[in-house]
Chains A and B, each alone.
Chain A
Amino acid sequence: MARLAGRRALFAVPVLLVVTFGVFAIAAASPFDPVKAYAGTAGLTASQENLDQLRANLGVDKPLAARWWDWLTSALTGDLGDSSVLRQPVADVIGERVGWSVLLAATAFLVAILLGTTLGVLAARRPGGWLDRAVTSLAYTLEAAPPFWLGLLAVWLFALKLGVLPSGGLTDTASSTVTAGQVASHLVLPAGVLAVSQLPWFVLYVRQGVGDALGDDPVRGARARGLAERTVLLGHALRSGMLPVLTLIGSRVPELITGALLVETVFSWPGIAAATVQAATAVDFSLLAALTALATAAVLLGNLVADLLYGLADPRVGFDG
């Protein structure tokens, strides 16, 4: 297990190197000019001499590979540059916000797994039955629905019409301190919408897995031994049916990040994904570069978790393969 984790970590190094270099290469190929972005409106009136001076100060006159290397070496010491849109060091931005994003994503993921497993098992019990058809149709519709649209409709229903939940942010506008109760009530809508956007996938895979398992010999054997339907379903079919789902849980990190980008923006959640969108709107390169690298690292970590879970859940799988 340690060997697998070590090998994955070694593979992560070249991946991150290539991705960050790609980010710098795209920026170099684009019409984006960091000097003009840095100078802002002052850049319009500044003399060419001043602009050149600024260019040298920012190190933009160096070739692409040198700029990338400078960024990389200072990133390793913890200096990721300054965010121009949030007026903070990038490392501070990440430090302040990453916790809120993890809270949101973890809550949503947990809800999606629990709800998805329940619905998937219910649907798999009678393939073609009304419950199955209802759940499957709902899953396909939700899969096609953009999360930002679901989020806006949820705001309309729960915050405006019913008035039971706050429409966004982390705390009430009047409050100056962050309390657990406030955060919990502000978490319900964004986490719910993010969970719903991840739900279809779980439902469909659990349904497929459990449905297949219900036709397999162990389940038939369990039925023949006269075990209760409940035991057969939850003890035998669900256990073997969940195996393929379990292995794919870790690989859902990209979708989770995609969902978070949209949901955090809709609900003004002070997380890292909302900061990414702000950075993109303001073409804040240093923040974007760091966050892209961070997201890639999260995806790689998810892949590792997927492999480890697979090995833990299925004793037939060795860790040295």
Chain B
Amino acid sequence: MADTKDLVWRAKGGVRRSTRAWRVRTSAVLVAAVVLAVLVVPPLVNLDEQAVDLGMKLHPPSLSHPFGTDDVGRDLLLRCVYGLRVSLLVGVVAAVVATVIGTAVGALAAASGGWVDRIVMRLVDVFSSVPHLLLGIFIVAMFRPGVWPVVVSVALTHWLSTARIVRAEVLSLRSRPYVDAAISGGASRLRVAVRHLLPGVLPQAGLAAVLMVPHAIWHESALSFLGLGLPTHQASLGTLVQSARGSLLAGDWWPTLFPGVFIIVPTLAIAGLAGAWRERINPRRRSELML
């Protein structure tokens, strides 16, 4: 039993810290790789990801096609990079829109107080009661087809938690002595908001936005998989999984496997980085639960 105790103590000190540093470094490298791949590959690599080669259809992974080819002979690595590009773009835009809405609503509720606050937050509670994906499916079904319905549907279902976070942060900042000092010093409302409240809220809102990107990608790929998302000529990772269904049922696993890996790896990397960021701005709430 004695060695167990030793293990526990050691694990709580050095080992865990080094694991954490390693995790953050790996996450940073992966996020950088994802961003580079998405930004650099399409303009530099002058290959047509839509190039159909029926002689090459459904080849398993090999040296010339590391991820194999799909049912019309397109290179899956290239398809995945382009899919990630579409997914990431939709995810980032949706996360930014959701964060702007959430910050505005949360700040408005906290700044107004009274009945405005109560009504707005009750509405947030009400809309939290509808499962996100279901509400997203409903919005997309009504406004389909196109890219914008997907972005709007993901954004409209994701701002609720940001509104709660921002409201709580503004309320806590507003009761700090330095804000009282600024007000009694004659600062205008606008000045208090911009100089004293905004800098405190921005890191939290930014963190929420970063953490939202994987969620948004997840939602977009779910919608696309259900056939309600992006049109096939703008294939996202979810669309790739959806269109690989036929091949999978014929026994070919690679067109399904790799797009999924391309969803998981950026999600873990972004969560790893955001976790480190959260510990920095919020050291008291050190938690291992980051997703």
- What does the 1/0 interface line of B241-272 toward A look like (CB < 8 Å)? 10011001101010011011001100110010
Contact A126 B4 (CB under 8 A): yes
The yes or no answer to B2 lying at the interface (CB within 8 A) is: no
- Closest Cβ–Cβ distance, residue A64 to chain B (whole Å): 14
Task: Give chain A interface residues in 245-279, CB to chain B under 8 Å.
Answer: 253-255, 257-258, 261-262, 265, 276-277, 279
The yes or no answer to B181 lying at the interface (CB within 8 A) is: no
Contact B222 A148 (CB under 8 A): yes
Contact A127 B8 (CB under 8 A): yes
For chain B, the count of residues having a C-beta within 8 Å of the partner chain is: 59
Contact A258 B132 (CB under 8 A): yes
Q: With A144-B291, A204-B289 as given contacts, are A280 and B226 in contact (CB-CB < 8 Å)?
A: yes
How would you classify the secondary structure of chain B's contact residues: helix, strand, loop or mixed? helix
Contact A156 B222 (CB under 8 A): no
The yes or no answer to A57 lying at the interface (CB within 8 A) is: no
Contact B268 A141 (CB under 8 A): yes
How would you classify the secondary structure of chain A's contact residues: helix, strand, loop or mixed? helix
Q: How far is the CA of A205 from the CA of B249 in the complex (A)?
A: 36
The yes or no answer to A306 lying at the interface (CB within 8 A) is: no
Chain A contacts for B123, CB-based, 8 A: 18
- What does the 1/0 interface line of A281-293 toward B look like (CB < 8 Å)? 1010000100110
Q: With A129-B11, A261-B137 as given contacts, are A30 and B268 in contact (CB-CB < 8 Å)?
A: no
Contact A30 B142 (CB under 8 A): yes
- What does the 1/0 interface line of B120-161 toward A look like (CB < 8 Å)? 000101110111111101111111100000000000000000
For chain A, the bracket of interface size reads 35 or more
Q: How far is the CA of A292 from the CA of B138 in the complex (A)?
A: 8
Q: How far is the CA of A27 from the CA of B138 in the complex (A)?
A: 9
Chain A contacts for B267, CB-based, 8 A: 144
Q: Report the nearest A residue to B241, measured CB to CB.
A: A149
Contact B141 A281 (CB under 8 A): yes
- Closest Cβ–Cβ distance, residue B27 to chain A (whole Å): 11
Chain A contacts for B253, CB-based, 8 A: 153, 156
Q: How far is the CA of A19 from the CA of B139 in the complex (A)?
A: 13
Contact B226 A144 (CB under 8 A): no
- Closest Cβ–Cβ distance, residue B287 to chain A (whole Å): 7
Q: Which of A126, A156, A280 contacts B141 (CB under 8 A)?
A: A280
Task: Give chain B interface residues in 207-256, CB to chain A under 8 Å.
Answer: 214, 218, 221-222, 225-228, 238, 241, 244-245, 248-249, 251, 253, 256
- Closest Cβ–Cβ distance, residue A285 to chain B (whole Å): 8
Q: Report the nearest B residue to A253, measured CB to CB.
A: B131
The yes or no answer to A101 lying at the interface (CB within 8 A) is: no
Q: Which of A22, A26, A253, A261 contacts B133 (CB under 8 A)?
A: A261
Q: With A126-B4, A283-B141 as given contacts, are A205 and B289 in contact (CB-CB < 8 Å)?
A: yes
The yes or no answer to B280 lying at the interface (CB within 8 A) is: no
- Closest Cβ–Cβ distance, residue A18 to chain B (whole Å): 5
Q: Report the nearest A residue to B265, measured CB to CB.
A: A144
The yes or no answer to B281 lying at the interface (CB within 8 A) is: no
Chain B contacts for A141, CB-based, 8 A: 264, 268
The yes or no answer to A158 lying at the interface (CB within 8 A) is: no
Q: Which of A127, A205, A295 contacts B130 (CB under 8 A)?
A: A295
Contact A26 B139 (CB under 8 A): yes
Contact A258 B134 (CB under 8 A): yes
The yes or no answer to A145 lying at the interface (CB within 8 A) is: yes
Contact B132 A133 (CB under 8 A): no
The yes or no answer to A191 lying at the interface (CB within 8 A) is: no
Contact A146 B263 (CB under 8 A): yes
Q: With A133-B19, A280-B138 as given contacts, are A19 and B256 in contact (CB-CB < 8 Å)?
A: no
**Other A-B pairs, 14, CB within 8 Å; known A27-B142, A148-B225:** A133-B19, A144-B214, A148-B241, A153-B260, A208-B287, A208-B289, A258-B222, A262-B222, A279-B141, A283-B142, A288-B138, A292-B130, A292-B134, A299-B130
Residues of A within 8 A of B (CB): 14-15, 18-19, 22-23, 26-27, 30-32, 126-129, 133, 136, 140-141, 143-146, 148-149, 152-153, 155-156, 160-161, 167, 200, 204-205, 207-208, 229, 253-255, 257-258, 261-262, 265, 276-277, 279-281, 283, 288, 291-292, 295-296, 299-300, 303
Closest 9 CB pairs of A and B: A128-B11, A30-B142, A280-B141, A149-B260, A144-B267, A254-B131, A258-B133, A257-B131, A144-B264
| CB-defined A-B contacts under 8 Å, sample of 13 | A19-B127, A127-B11, A128-B15, A128-B16, A129-B11, A144-B268, A145-B263, A149-B259, A156-B248, A160-B249, A200-B291, A261-B134, A299-B129
